Structure 1
Amino acid sequence: MIATDLRGAVERLGDMIAEASVIVPFTGAGISTESGIPDFRSPGGLWSRNQPIPFEAFVARQDARDEAWRRRFAMQSTFGAARPSRGHRALASLYRAGKIPAVVTQNIDNLHQASGFAEHDVVELHGNTTYARCIGCGKRHELEWVKACWERTHHAPCCTSCDEPVKTATISFGQAMPEQQMHRAGDLAQSCDLFLAIGSSLVVWPAAGFPVLAKKCGAKLVIINNEPTDQDHLADLVIRYDIGEILGPFVGN
């Protein structure tokens, strides 16, 4: 069913939320655009201006590592100024109410944590850009340290423990998906009775398989996205309106 008017969409979604016992949100870039963070894939998105740097290139070449960190620091003011959107805050309200056990996200911006989700209840499939990790030993490094090294040497730094390259704690093209997070996301998809796919194009696999899994396991599926997706035909409700307007009424105190 495709919602044909905004008010009707909010009312139908409200009924489904009220009827559900366990809700699992699955969020993509669309929930963060209201926060001022541009998406990657759409026309005019970040990847239309700069092609992503594959993990293999990051590991092999100093110039690729330097460029990756140059891009990250160029985005620092955007990420630093971002605050949770109405969508983030609505999900956090449902989380506090006990309706949502955890959120599964493709985003790397830390805004679910900022909205009120406990860190261990944010399942980050593509990592987090607000800190860095050594690709060798896994040691965490704060961005302030990386930037200080960058400004001093004009090169991406290596780990202080094992001298391997340090990169943002995100999953790059060609890098293995995080096994623990993928396993937990699968468990959540199989255990919910309402799955909300919000602001995702649902084209990036294997992450895009979670709405399908939830539906196969008996959950109702709602897709909230401005553009059509390849999974709209599976959904019990498709909403193609602004995410903030749809989820804003569910923001609690």
Structure 2
Amino acid sequence: MTKPLVAVLSGAGISTDSGIPDYRGPQGLWRRDPEAEKLVTYEYYMGDPEIRRRSWQMRRKNRALSAEPNAAHRAIVDLERSGVPVRVITQNVDGLHQMAGLPARKVLELHGSARSFVCTGCHARGPMEEALARLDAGEDDPPCRECGAILKSATVMFGQRLDPVVLGEALAIAKACQVFIAVGTSLQVQPAAGLAGVAADHGARLVIVNAEPTPYDELADEVVREPIGTALPRLLRELAAAERRPRSEEG
């Protein structure tokens, strides 16, 4: 008997226990400092050297690069290692799912990765640590060493479109999965949020784990408001146990 595919859509809320602030929650970055949004808006970033300098300083202080996976990230890895087919679609750029031990091929990063930089001209890439080392050496807006164009983090900024290949793969997973768990996401940013609706429309059991209400709560089979660090591990343990039960009874 084929095991059901479990899809997990993760947002900023899954990483707050790792010390990474969310963006739209009550204490979110955009609520505390609306000007900060300009630092990750493509038009402002490309057109204003001062915005770029501030953006690089923000990256320098970014706790995401030193953060460690938490219990929620590890619980997804435990589910995958139990033999249940798992795919993670993440809105996060922190790389913590992979650091927790989930194979990179099973993680779709809708908004890219803060762990790398990319050239806006020739598209050369490299580890973010390399670019930050240039800041430490005195450069405040390091240009590409290959072509001299502007560098940015390998994340999707406001005003940039998502990678159509990655989005296409995410849609395919949403349509194919039997269980879709949206965790730590406000489900307000499209097209990522729409994946929850796509999964429900294709018959998946929809579970939403989030501190605040989302636009998709009415579609959900289950809504959990408890802290993610305890709620998600419990949910996934129950899911793994339910998968084992029929086979043990048949045997």
2:8 touches 2:88 (CA, 8 Å); kept in 1? yes
Residue 5 of structure 1 is matched in structure 2 by none
Q: TM-score, normalised by structure 1?
A: 0.86
Q: Deviations over 1:169-224 (max 9, x none)?
A: 11110011111110110000000010000110000011100000001111110001
Residue 22 of structure 1 is matched in structure 2 by 5
Q: Residue type of the partner of 2:199?
A: A
Residue 66 (str. 1) matches residue 53 (str. 2): yes
User: How much identity, in percent, do the aligned residues show?
Assistant: 38
Q: Deviations over 1:67-90 (max 9, x none)?
A: 111111122xx2243211111111
Q: Residue type of the partner of 1:46?
A: L
Paired residue secondary structure (2:99): helix
Q: 1:97 aligns with which of 82, 90, 95?
A: 82
1:22 touches 1:99 (CA, 8 Å); kept in 2? yes
Q: 2:166 aligns with which of 177, 181, 186?
A: 181
How do 1:4-153 and structure 2 match up within 5 A?
21-47=4-30, 48-49=32-33, 50-53=35-38, 54-75=41-62, 78-153=63-138
1:193 touches 1:219 (CA, 8 Å); kept in 2? yes
Residue 212 (str. 1) matches residue 234 (str. 2): no
User: Which portions of structure 1, spanning 4 or more consecutive aligned residues, are displaced by more than 6 angstroms?
Assistant: none
Q: TM-score, normalised by structure 2?
A: 0.87
Residue 6 of structure 1 is matched in structure 2 by none
Comparing 125-134 with 150-159, greater Cα deviation is found at 150-159
Comparing 226-235 with 145-154, greater Cα deviation is found at 145-154
Matches of 1:134 and 1:70 in 2, distance apart?
18
Matches of 1:139 and 1:181 in 2, distance apart?
19
Matches of 2:27 and 2:228 in 1, distance apart?
20
Q: Structure 2 unaligned runs (5+)?
A: 241-251
Residue 199 of structure 1 is matched in structure 2 by 184
Paired residue secondary structure (2:9): strand
Residue 9 of structure 1 is matched in structure 2 by none
2:65 touches 2:94 (CA, 8 Å); kept in 1? no
1:146 touches 1:156 (CA, 8 Å); kept in 2? no
**Higher relative contact order (Cα pairs below 8 Å, separated by 6+ residues):** 1
Matches of 2:203 and 2:144 in 1, distance apart?
46
Residue 227 (str. 1) matches residue 212 (str. 2): yes
Matches of 1:222 and 1:197 in 2, distance apart?
6
Q: Residue type of the partner of 2:25?
A: S
Cα RMSD, aligned residues only: 1.8
1:37 touches 1:82 (CA, 8 Å); kept in 2? yes
Matches of 2:72 and 2:136 in 1, distance apart?
36
Matches of 2:129 and 2:198 in 1, distance apart?
40
Residue 237 (str. 1) matches residue 222 (str. 2): yes
Q: Residue type of the partner of 1:65?
A: R
Give the CA deviation at 1:120.
1.9
Paired residue secondary structure (2:8): strand
Give the CA deviation at 1:20.
6.4
Comparing 40-49 with 178-187, greater Cα deviation is found at 40-49
Paired residue secondary structure (1:133): strand
